[in-house]
Amino acid sequence: MAEFSGSYRGKVLAIGSVTALAFNEAYSREYLSKHWFTDIVSGLLYGAVLLGPFLVAVRLIAGPVSVHARRGGPALTAAMAA
């Protein structure tokens, strides 16, 4: 998940943010008694399973991380070409 900067720090921040948001949503559903506990756990697992194909699709469309990290990303490359 180094889509933002290609750095290790960016990867840790992205994973941490997504994990915190998922936990917050799951906890609030349990706290407010909106769902059964099994629904919450299965929703988290389902989200984790869907994350895999999503990341593969992003890598297929955007290309390898090292190419964009070395050049400064697609936005910088487009700005330099203009």
Q: Tens of pLDDT along 4-53?
A: 556 788 888 888 898 999 999 999 999 999 999 999 999 999 998 998 89
Predicted local confidence at residue 31, as pLDDT: 92
**What's the rounded mean pLDDT across residues 55-62?**
86
Q: Is residue 51 part of a domain?
A: yes
Q: Which amino acid is at 34?
A: K
Assess if residue 3 is contained within a domain: no
Q: Does some domain include residue 45?
A: yes
**What does the alpha-carbon distance between residue 77 and residue 69 come to, in Å, rounded to a whole number?**
11
Considering its fold, how many domains does the chain have in total? 1
Q: What is the mean pLDDT of residues 46-70?
A: 79
Above 80 in pLDDT, residue 81?
Answer: no
CA distance 62 to 74: 9
Q: Is residue 2 part of a domain?
A: no
Is 25 among the domain residues? Answer: yes
Residue 2: pLDDT over 50? no
Give a yes or no: residue 57 inside a domain. Answer: yes
Q: Is residue 37 part of a domain?
A: yes
Residue-range definition of the domain harbouring residue 70 = 8-81
